[in-house]
Structure 1
Amino acid sequence: MKKTILFILILFCEFAIAQETVGLVYSDINETKADGYTLFNTLSDDRVYLINNCGEVVNQWDFSGKNSKQSYLLENGNLWQSDQETADIRDWDNNVIWSVEFNSLGFRIHHDIAPLPNGNFLLLIRDTYTDVEMLAQGKDTSFDGSRFVLDKIIEIEPVGTNSANIVWEWKFFDHLIQQFDSSKPNFGSISANPQLLDMNYEAFNSVDYTHGNGIDYNADLDQIMISARHTSEIYVIDHSTTTAQAASNSGGIYGKGGDFLWRWGNPAVYDSGTAANQTLGKQHDAKWITDGIHKGKISVFSNDAYGTDLSASSAHIIEPNDVDGVYNLDKGKFSPEDYFWSYNGTILGEILRENSRSGVQIMPNGNALINETNKGRISEVDSSGKVIWVYKIPISGGTTFDQYTKEIADNGSFRATRYPENYVGFDGLTIVSSGIIENENSISANCAKLLSVDNLYFSDLRVYPNPTKDWLNFNFNKPIDQIKVYDIYGKIVLTQTNAELVNLESLANGLYVVKILSGGSTDSLKIIKN
């Protein structure tokens, strides 16, 4: 009987796949997804969501008109949210812990941040110089422009509820080399100094030299990774330095000061290759893989696939071949020569192609979570390249789209991250779903049924009325040991033992999740109090 029910559900689920347009639009029930909860926002909306693998919300944060660009779930369970001008830290229940306007600190951030284990944050900042300042460094006089933009990194320490101290700084500007003006102190051979940035590389004939778009931190190595779109390179630097050492070429545990420890993607930038050697193109979201079978490797999303294909994008794993954070330089180029793993296939019949933003996360089981910003789509791909899970973000600019809506715009997320169920930030939290974001989704509904291992045990349970104004009745042929009621943020608002009648009069109107415990089995259902 149980097998028959599952078979019918499988048929219904696969039949429904082609119909959904928002929310969970595809889920291969025969494949195991990476466990956990996926965090996303949209660039045009002030809501941040955490969903389970059935596309159901397990938590939501609302930022009251502050559109979110960077969202990170921290190890203490709080959420960081920021745009170029402001940042908030909220707790699980959406209470403001810390809020700051970056203008008050003298800067605006650009694209990305990285949380540190000590509670501080690394911020990627645009760093602007005048033509006079760049000429003093040996800028090619044929380059146009009155100002030039590089990038820098600052580390901030949150103070109180609305301020921060800048405690560390690193700049590209301090690590330039050129072979245009021999009268300048940074004159030298580009190829002989791969630890430095050629300030006259041909692609820099614009105001925006590097265009940093991603930053990551490796706590085991105390190193920082930077993705620079306009060089099509990723860089690794030492974080153990003082600010003074970070501006030099000595000091820190690796002895290189703030010079590059490793760079990869486009060796032509340091005069050690040609276009044929380019492996990245305008990439985003370079970061270390921190858990699972690929721990220690690096993942990255290349917007121009394999560095040169402008008609497609690709996701990659790179094995840097370092030994305790020391990287191999072979014949003037940093290892490796090629990727460890790549994906550039189609997702639900559409070629993977994103000309800006987007990203990839390699999860502990080896699967890749690919975020396509322009399409507003988050997909899980296994190591063989098979697409096994696809979620289409159903929100944009304050609008929530109904199921079967076909024309959707501005629903993309800068970053999507799946946090495993054992993530330390979930410790002490009871996580329950509050339903899908959109109005209906048959794939989500069937996914939830398939995951409910105790479904048959509770087949005779009746809970009524729903919606209810006050009392909730539980009609069941087995003893009920405990009933817990959760709000939409996963907070327990009511607990009752050995009861078949629960009074909800004290609760505010809204959606709640009721969890029933009986004989070692559990079941959950959603109820509306009105």
Structure 2
Amino acid sequence: MKYISTFSILILLLLVGCKKDTEMEPIVPVEEIEDIDTDVILELSENIEVYDAELVSDDLVLVIENGGKSAYFLNKEGVQLYTWDFELNLGNDLQLLPTGQILAIFKSEAPSFTFGGYGGVIQIINPDSSIAWEFIYSSEDYIAHHDIEILPNGNILILAWERISMETATSFGVFVDHDLYPEKLIEVDFETKDIVWEWRAWDHIIQDVNAGFDSFAAISEYPNKIDINYYDEPNGDIMHANAIEYDISKDIIYLSVNYYNEVWVLDHSTTTFEASGAVGGNYNLGGDLVYRFGNPEAYDNLKGNTILDRNHFPNIIAEGLPGEGNLMIYNNGRTSGQSTVYELEIPKVFNLQANTDNEPAIVWGFTNADLFSERVSGAVRLLNGNTLICEGDYGFWEVTVEGEIVWKYKKEGSFWRGYSFGTNNPILPILGI
């Protein structure tokens, strides 16, 4: 297939911000309807609740339904300009490639386990809906879920659950009456479909309940390790990671771990062998956590504030955007019943220490009494400095750096994420937009 020879080159375009490239153009606020020309009013969808002409950005939103069978481009007037319809349900992420193709994770039709966000099938779909590439990662012992990422070399990074039997867990000093399903990451060679790199959370666990096992340790003294007993879920989904973000500048991976209320940072420069241990890679920690943030309680750290209470979509603000290099994340706020979007300044040098405040600085944040989604959701920075927020059980918000709400789009259903595309993005003509 001819597209493969240019695929890796085109990926570089994807990595420099095609998700978030926007410009600003004055449009009309809904609040001033009595002063608006009737023809302009008719251009606004009934789904638009706020529409500020002076401050809203002029961009398109790629709307991804949560577990649905479609995605679409939406303009700020609330009009769907282009729609994709899929044969399988999404499970969950979808990315639009510079070729006009879609890379997405879909739900297996015969999965062995079905925790929320399960997938199993990764496909690249052509604009004519034909399947250009497919990789199935689903069996009795593992299944891909939630998120995928394209690496600079064209390989695909995939998040997955793996089954750890009760017997194996017991041999590590973890006594449970059900199998466990911790997280793993695999990197798949695009050309050969071979797994060329792997990281397993299970290789880095410790516990402080049952002495006499190699895994037994004081949790607070090993911040680079994972307390396997931190969260208990009867179905075995004890971590429930939901997002991955690759940082090309540091060759690291951010992993959003929902049930730990944390983001873990992993060293991708390791070999698979090094990733299974605690030595090697650019940080000489092997596959142990290079850094973590959001919830010091997850590793018995009494220093630092807990800012995350369930979390989704950590993403690095791209070069050229206000706040570039910082990280945005959606804090679902399950306990408080109120969500918050944070922009965080990640340390330039990772120095994860025991009994130390390791948390990043909060550069910016936004919350509102009406902003709450217990699940999914996310936020991205726009070119004009505004922030686009996906509230999973509502729709979309756009807010200024001062916290002013300049656009709201409400629609029935559930939304996984929204990516922003400038109206001059070269992908759009490929789709006829």
Length-normalised TM-score, structure 2: 0.81
Distance 2:286 2:39 in 1: 56
- Hey, what does 2:188 align to over in structure 1? 156
Q: 1:330 to 1:296 in 2, by over 3 A?
A: farther
- Hey, what does 1:315 align to over in structure 2? 341
Mean Cα deviation higher: 118-127 or 101-110:
101-110
1:30 aligns with one of 30, 54, 68: 54
Q: Secondary structure of 1:225's partner?
A: strand
Q: 1:200 to 1:13 in 2, by over 3 A?
A: farther
1:134 aligns with one of 146, 156, 169: 169
Q: 1:258 to 1:364 in 2, by over 3 A?
A: farther
- State the Cα deviation string for residues 265-293 of structure 1 (Å, max 9, x = none): 1111111128x932100111122222312
Question: How do 1:277-426 residues align onto structure 2 when only pairs under 5 Å count?
Answer: 277-291=305-319, 292-304=321-333, 309-323=335-349, 326-327=350-351, 329=353, 331-336=355-360, 338-346=361-369, 351-375=370-394, 377-393=395-411, 408=412, 411-421=413-423, 426=426
Identity %: 28
Deviation at 1:103, TM superposition (A): 3.4
Q: 1:20 to 1:37 in 2, by over 3 A?
A: closer
Deviation at 1:385, TM superposition (A): 1.0
Deviation at 1:362, TM superposition (A): 2.2
Q: Secondary structure of 1:204's partner?
A: coil
1:40–1:71 contact (8 Å) kept in structure 2: no
Distance 2:385 2:222 in 1: 36
- Hey, what does 1:110 align to over in structure 2? 145
Give the partner amino acid of 2:339: S
Distance 2:35 2:121 in 1: 46
Task: Report how many aligned residue pairs link the two structures.
Answer: 390
Q: 1:60 to 1:184 in 2, by over 3 A?
A: same
- Hey, what does 1:490 align to over in structure 2? 432
Distance 1:204 1:8 in 2: 52
2:288 aligns with one of 246, 259, 278: 259
Give the partner amino acid of 1:379: W
Give the partner amino acid of 1:414: W
Q: 1:254 to 1:374 in 2, by over 3 A?
A: same
Q: Secondary structure of 2:417's partner?
A: coil
Give the partner amino acid of 1:371: C
Distance 2:203 2:38 in 1: 57
Deviation at 1:430, TM superposition (A): 2.5
1:327–1:335 contact (8 Å) kept in structure 2: no
* Alpha-carbon RMSD: 3.1
1:131–1:147 contact (8 Å) kept in structure 2: yes
Q: 1:44 to 1:229 in 2, by over 3 A?
A: closer
1:371–1:379 contact (8 Å) kept in structure 2: yes
Distance 1:237 1:13 in 2: 54
Residues 1:78 and 2:101 are matched in the alignment:
yes
Give the partner amino acid of 1:55: G
2:301–2:354 contact (8 Å) kept in structure 1: no
- State the Cα deviation string for residues 395-452 of structure 1 (Å, max 9, x = none): xxxxxxxxxxxxx3xx2221111134565xx36x527xxxxxxxxxxxxxxxxxxxxx
- State the Cα deviation string for residues 18-53 of structure 1 (Å, max 9, x = none): x9543x4432111141x4331113235422212333
1:58–1:490 contact (8 Å) kept in structure 2: no
Give the partner amino acid of 2:229: N
Question: How do 1:203-222 residues align onto structure 2 when only pairs under 5 Å count?
Answer: 203-204=231-232, 206=234, 207-222=236-251
Distance 1:14 1:322 in 2: 51
- State the Cα deviation string for residues 232-285 of structure 1 (Å, max 9, x = none): 1111001111111111111111211111111011111111128x9321001111
Task: Identify unmatched segments of 5+ residues in structure 1.
Answer: 394-407, 432-488, 492-530
- Hey, what does 1:195 align to over in structure 2? 224
Distance 2:203 2:93 in 1: 27
Larger radius of gyration: 1
Q: Secondary structure of 1:234's partner?
A: strand
Residues 1:11 and 2:36 are matched in the alignment:
yes
Q: Secondary structure of 1:173's partner?
A: helix
Give the partner amino acid of 1:318: L
Distance 2:45 2:73 in 1: 20
Distance 2:249 2:70 in 1: 33
Q: Secondary structure of 2:253's partner?
A: strand
Mean Cα deviation higher: 24-33 or 278-287:
24-33
1:127–1:151 contact (8 Å) kept in structure 2: yes
- State the Cα deviation string for residues 205-258 of structure 1 (Å, max 9, x = none): 642221111111111111101111111111100111111111111111121111
Residues 1:244 and 2:244 are matched in the alignment:
no
Deviation at 1:365, TM superposition (A): 3.1
